[in-house]
Amino acid sequence: MENIGLVIIFWYGVLHAFGPDHLSAIADFSIGKNKKKTMLITTLFAFGHGMSLFIFAKILESYSISEKLLGYGDIISSLVILSIGFYLLFMVFSDRIQLKKHIHHGKEHIHIWFGKEHTHGNADTTSAFTIGALMGIGGVRGMLITLGAIEGQSVDFVMVLAFTLGVMSIFAAFGVVILYINQNLLNSKQNLKRVFATAGIVSVVVGSNMLLG
């Protein structure tokens, strides 16, 4: 039964990852990034999501928390997506998304960054982990319901790993789609603004629907 339970948790992670809020967040963080950065972002988002679910599920196992209070997790997830969407739209309309091309070892490279100056850092990968963790709060109820379907087992790290692998499989596949967009569409400032504006609008719509739903 234990192996069957892990399979159920894995497929719950797969289905969970298909949520429009998760795919919107991945797109928002991965657009404009190279292959290595895109895969790193999707991985960190998945691990942040899984660890958050693990921690909060363990808390809920020990303490009785009302359904109304659990509902605030969904509100947090909605506000996160909504905030990202408004942020992207602000960056687009304030002309703070930059694109620069240059030739390196005979190959054309495109650099995309936010702000007036080009800086290097790990802020986007750190943010991906943090956002994944915050959005994990909204998935705690679903995980506990799934656990109830496999004879009320206690949440352990192996279960969270199975869930995370399920989430990561979809995020990685979606990351390939984002890579295609990065390599084929983000070749001009105009296209760059269109893609980020579209991502921002989608995030606002998804976040609003979650908040009002």
pLDDT in tens, 177-199: 888 887 787 777 788 888 888 98
Model-level pTM greater than 0.85?
no
pLDDT in tens, 85-117: 898 898 888 887 777 766 656 665 566 666 655
Question: Picking from 62-76, 142-156, 169-183, which range would have the lowest pLDDT averaged per residue?
Answer: 142-156
| Dihedral sign of CA atoms 166, 131, 79, 89 in order | negative
* Element holding 102 (H helix, E strand): strand 97-104
Q: How confident is the model at residue 1 (pLDDT cuts 50, 70, 90)?
A: very low
Tokens encoding 3? 């192996």
Distance in angstroms (rounded) separating the CA atoms of residues 14 and 174 = 12
Quick check: 210 and 77 in contact, CB under 8 A? Answer: yes
Give 124 or 35, the one with higher predicted confidence: 35
Give 120 or 167, the one with higher predicted confidence: 167
Helix 35-62 with 140-148: angle, nearest 10 deg: 60
pLDDT in tens, 2-57: 677 778 778 888 887 888 878 888 887 788 777 788 888 888 888 888 788 777 77
Give 184 or 209, the one with higher predicted confidence: 209
Cβ-count burial of 211 within 10 angstroms (0-12 exposed, 13-18 middle, 19+ buried)?
A: middle
pLDDT the model gives residue 94: 87
